[in-house]
Amino acid sequence: MNLNISAARTFAAAVSAFVALAIPLAASAQTPPTASYEYDAMGRITAIYDDATYTAERMEWDALGRLVTHTNRLAESTTYQYAGSARPAHVVAPNGAHTAYVIDGLGLVHTEISPDRGAMQISYDAAGNPVSRVDARGARVETTYDALDRPTSNRYVRADGSTEATHVYTWDSAINGIGRIARIDTGTNALEYEYDSGGHVAGRTYTRGSVVLRTRAYHNAADGNLDVFSYPSDSVITYHYDTSGRLIRVEWDGQPIASNIEYVPFGPPLAYQLANGIDHRRSHDSSGRVSAYTLVGEVVDITYDASGNIEQIAPQLDADANQTFQFDAAGRVTQYQEPARTEEYSYDANSNRIGRSVDWVGTDYNYAPFTNRLTAVGGATLSHDPVGNRSTDATRSYTHNAAGRLVEVRAGGVTARYEYNGLGERIYKQLDTGLVRHYMYDKAGHLIGEYDSNGRALVEYAWLGDLPLALQSYSYAPDNSRTATLYAIEADHLGTPRVLTDMAGQVRWRWHSAPFGDTAPNEDPVGLGAVTFNLRFPGQYHDAESGLHYNYYRDYDPGTGRYVQSDPIGSVLYQDMAAESLERHGIVIGPELASLLYRAQLDLNHPYSYVNGNPLSYTDTYGLFPGIGGGGQDAGPQSCGPKKKCKPPIGLRGLARAVWLVFCLATGEEPPETPPPPPPRRETPGPAPPSPPGGPKPPPEK
C-alpha cells in the first residue's frame, strides 16, 4: 500500500494532530514519543531514530536524489533500481518479491510485472489519460473521455473478449449542474444527482430495477451548512448550529440524537449527549492523542508505550475486559492479552503474518516463494487468480469480475452475489436463501441505510463526521405500518462502534474484539433479544455469509488479518511526489510529517496488508491505504456544505491524475475543471502514482 498516495488525506489529519500538539486537553502524565532525525548534505532524511528504543529507520539516496534503499527498524530493506528515469524500474521487497515497470520518457507506466498482481499493460491517449488497462487474467478496462478529460465511460471486458459491463458518466445535464456529474449508469443500477442554486447536492436518486431510493438535502443559503437531510424512508435529520457555525445538536425525526456537542479547539467533537441521555466523552493527552473515552458512562483508559503504540486499553470498572498489547520495532502487534486469553503474532520480512498462537496453540501461515500470496493457514490451503484475488480457502470460493471486485461467494451451500455502483460502492446483496439488501451511502461514503427487495427501509444510520452516532431499525406489520426503534452508538478512539444502547440506556449489542476484529460481537448482552449490527472497523461492514468485512474497494478477512484482494492501486512508488506537491502549494513539511510519509513505505510492498499490522492505531476506510486513527476528525453532518476543491499535484497526468480523481471521489472533493499546467522542470521529480482500481472514475459532486 502506498500512503504517499493517501498523503493528501493524511495531511488533513496530520495538520489537525499538529494543532492539537499545542493545545493540551485533559492532559495525562503520559510522555509523548520523540524521534531524532539525520540528514545528508542535500537535506534529505537518512535516518529516523526512535528515541525510546534507539532503533533507526534508514534511507539511502543516489546522486540524483532518488531513494535506493529503505530499511525499517528491524533491518528489513526495500531496494529501488532505476533505468534512466526518476521513477523506479525495479522494486525488491524485503522478502525478495520483485516488481518491475516499463516507463516511457514522459514518466507514464506502460507495464507492471508484479509477483502478486501479475503483468498489467496500460495504454494512453495523446493527453496522457489511461484508455486501456489489461490485467494478468486478460480482463480489460477501456475508458473514454470528453474534451475536458472527464471520463465518460468505462467498458469492462472479460478475458474472452465479451463485454461484462459499461459504466456511463453523464455530465452537465442536471439542473444547476454545469461542470458537475449528473448521472452514473452501470446498466443494472444508476445514480442521479440534483443540485441547488448554491452548487450543493440537493438530492441523489439510486435506481435498480423497480427499487428507487432517494435522499434530499437542504442547505442554508447564507452559510452553506446542511440544515435538513431526508432519508429514503422519509425520516429526517435536522442539524442545529451555534453562531460560529459549529454543529451543536442533531435531531432525528425530532428526537435529539446528539446534543450539547463540545469540541476540541479547532478539532473534532470532544463530548456530546446521546439520544438516551448517556454522555459520551473523550479526553486527550498533551500530544493530542485520545487518552480515554467513555462507553455507557464507564471510562476506558488508553496507555501508550514510549514509541507511541497503544499498550493498554483498560475499562475502569471491568478488569476482565482489560487488554494489553506488545509490538515489534516496526510497530506491528506481536502480542495481545486479556485475563482469559493470550494471542501472539509473528511476521516475515515483508510484514506477512507467518504465525499466530491463541492460548499457546499455534497456527502457521505459508506463502508462495518471493510473493505475498497466502497459500496455507494451518492445514487449509488457499488459491488465487492471476491478479492475486483469493479464489478459494478452506470453506469458501470467490468470484471477481473484470473490475476486480468480489461479485460472488459460495460458502456452506449458500451463494451470495454482490453488485456495485459506478462509484465503487457496494449497493446490492442477494443470497440464494432469498435475502436481498439494497445499500445507500452519503457523499462521504458512509453507509446510511439498508433496504429490502421492495425498497422498504430496514436499518438507517446517522453519523457525526466519521463517528457512527445512531441507528434506526424498522419493522413492519401485515398492513405495512412501520415501527421504528432507535439505538445510540458509542465508538472507540478509532471510530469503531463498540456499544449499542436502547432508549432506556440498556446495552443491546457490544463488540469487545481482538486486535484484528475476528471476535464475534455479543448481540444479546442483557437477554432482551438479539440485535444485529454489522458495522465494524471504520469503513467496514460484516457479511455473515462469508465472514468477510466489505471495505469499500476491497474485502477484509479478519481471520487472517489481511485483504482477500491484492492492492488495486499497485505499488508504483513516487516517494517524493507528496513532498513536491506540498512545496508547490507553499506548505512546509516538518520532520513529523516527513516521518509519517516514510513510515508509510513499510506497507508499500505488501499489497494485502491491513494497516501495517497495527489496527490499534490506524484505520483503512477505503481499503486502499492506512490512515491515522481518531474517528471523526472532520466532524460534521453527512453531505454537509460545499466541498473544497481537490488540487492534484501540479502537472499530474495519466495514471497519476486518474488516481487523484479517484481519491477525490472517495473523499468527496472535486478536482479542477481543467487540467493543470505542467510543472517547472526539476532534476529529481517523484515517481508517478499508480492506476486507480477498476479504471478511472469521475470526481464527485461538490
pLDDT digits (tens, 9 = 90+) for 188-222: 999 999 999 999 999 999 999 999 999 999 999 88
Q: Is the pLDDT of residue 633 over 80?
A: no
Query: Residue 695 and residue 144: Cα distance in Å, rounded?
Result: 11
Q: Which residue has the higher pLDDT, 622 or 659?
A: 622
CA distances from 517 to 58, 381, 521 (A): 32, 22, 10
DSSP labels, 313-362: EEETT-GGG-EEEEE-TTS-EEEEEETTEEEEEEE-TTS-EEEEEETTEE
Q: How far is CA 290 from the centre of its chain?
A: 20
Over residues 65-69, the mean pLDDT reads 89
Per-residue pLDDT for 102 more than 50?
yes
Residues 6+ apart with CB under 8 A from 42: 61, 65
Q: Which amino acid is at 339?
A: P
What's the pLDDT score for residue 279? 98
The pLDDT tens digits for 533-542 are 999 999 999 9
Average pLDDT across the chain, whole number: 83
Q: What is the pLDDT of residue 378?
A: 96
Is the pLDDT score of 520 beyond 90?
yes
List CB contacts of 162: < 8 A, sequence separation 6 or more.
Answer: none
Residues pairing with 513 in the sheet: none
The three cell numbers locating residue 647: 488540487
- For residue 106, the model assigns a pLDDT of 85
d(CA 77, CA 55): 14
Residue length of the chain: 702
* Residues sharing a CB contact under 8 Å with residue 434, sequence separation 6 or more, in sequence order: none
pLDDT greater than 90 at residue 255? yes
At residue 444, the pLDDT reads: 87
Task: For the chain, list the domains and their CATH numbers.
Answer: 7-667 (2.180.10.10)
Radius of gyration in angstroms for the set of CA atoms belonging to the chain, rounded to a whole number: 24
Confidence at residue 221, expressed as pLDDT on a 0 to 100 scale: 86
Per-residue pLDDT at 85: 79
Residue type, 141: V
Range name among 225-229, 398-402, 578-582 with the lowest pLDDT average: 578-582
pLDDT digit string (tens) for 19-59? 222 222 233 457 778 889 899 998 888 998 988 888 899 99
Instruction: Give the Cα separation of 292 and 573 in Å (integer).
Output: 37
The identity of residue 203, as a single letter, is G
Q: Determine the pLDDT at residue 627.
A: 67
Burial of 590 per CB tally in 10 Å (0-12, 13-18, 19+): exposed
Our separate counts of H helices and E strands in the chain read 4, 52
Cα(320)–Cα(340) distance, integer angstroms: 8
Listed range (69-73, 145-149, 358-362, 595-599) with the worst mean pLDDT: 595-599
Would you place residue 17 in the very low, low, confident or very high pLDDT band (cuts 50, 70, 90)?
Answer: very low
Angle between helices 591-600 and 577-584 (to 10 degrees): 150
More confident residue, 155 or 657: 155
Task: Say if CB 534 and CB 541 are below 8 A apart.
Answer: yes
Distance CA 310, CA 319 (A): 17
pLDDT at position 593 over 50: no
Predicted local distance difference test score (pLDDT) of residue 598: 43
What is the DSSP secondary structure assignment for residue 508, as one 8-state letter?
E
Higher-scoring residue by pLDDT: 689, 593: 593
Q: What percentage of the chain exceeds 90 in pLDDT? A: 70
Sole residue written with cell 520495532: 329
3-state DSSP call for residue 601? helix
Considering only residues 443 and 467, tell me which one the structure prediction assigns the higher pLDDT: 467
d(CA 287, CA 600): 20
Closest CA to 132 of 700, 691, 699, 698: 691
Check pLDDT > 60 for residue 678: no
**pLDDT score of 135:** 96
The pLDDT of residue 429 is above 50: yes
∠ Cα 111 620 185 (to 5°): 65
Residue 387 has pLDDT above 70, yes or no: yes
**Cβ(630)–Cβ(605) under 8 Å?**
no
**pLDDT higher than 90, residue 677:** no
* Nearest-angstrom CA–CA distance, 455 and 407: 21
Q: Answer whether 372's CB lies under 8 Å from 352's CB.
A: yes
Picking from 238, 639, 633, 634, the residue whose alpha carbon sits closest to that of residue 443 is 639
Residue 692 reports pLDDT greater than 50? no
| pLDDT of the residue at 18 | 30
Check residue 356 and give its pLDDT.
98
Task: Report the pLDDT averaged over residues 653-678.
Answer: 38
Ranking 19-28, 161-170, 443-452 by mean pLDDT, the lowest is 19-28
